[in-house]
Every structure is written in C-alpha cells, then in structure tokens.
Amino acid sequence: MYRLIGGIVILLALPALADESKLQLKDGAGKELITTYCAVCHSLDYIQINAPFLDRQAWEATINKMINIMGAPVKPEDVPPILDYLSKYYGKP
C-alpha cells in the first residue's frame, strides 16, 4: 500500500518538475554559468523572485553565501560574470 502511494506521489510531482524547464532566464553573458551552478541546487525561480529586492551588493552577498556557507562549487573566476549577469538582468536599480 505504501509503495503504491509513494509511486502516486512521484507521478503527481512529475508535471511540477517538468514545469521547471519552462522557466527561461534572460539571455546574456553569464546565463550559462547560472544554469550550470545555480540550477544544480535550487530552482531558478529564486532568481526572479528575489530580483525586485537585490541590488548588486546584495547579489554579491548572496553568491558569497552560496559558496561559503552552502558549499556551492563555483570557480573563483566564474564569480564576476555571475555577479555581472545577476546585477544587469535581475538587479534592483
């Protein structure tokens, strides 16, 4: 019984997971780094959800938190283009 219920839950969750692929970030330099590093751990929705609240300094703090506290394996040379992308396309003016 439990196995059947677990299977049903997984099947019901699949459409929600499939919807994630519909999310499109703005095209620009650094986008591929975002999809490479950020999408591995969390939904890219977080970028759009946080965009109205984060300026360049806040995005930099967020990136540093993801690397230093959450353990995101981002190469140091990839941090500036990620920050530039987030600031330019999803940063609060």
Give tens-digit pLDDT for 33-44: 999 999 988 999
**In whole angstroms, what is the distance from residue 20 CA to residue 5 CA?**
24
**pLDDT confidence of residue 10:** 46
25: Cβ contacts below 8 Å, ≥ 6 apart: 31, 34, 35, 44, 47, 89
CATH topology of domain 24-90: Cytochrome Bc1 Complex; Chain D, domain 2 (1.10.760)
Q: Which residue has the higher pLDDT, 42 or 14?
A: 42
Contact (CB, 8 A) for 59 and 83: yes
Q: What is the pLDDT of residues 44-69, one digit of tens each?
A: 999 999 999 999 999 999 999 999 99
> DSSP labels for 20-35?
GGG--PPPSTTHHHII
Query: What is the domain partition of the chain in residue ranges?
Result: 24-90
Whole-structure pTM value: 0.74
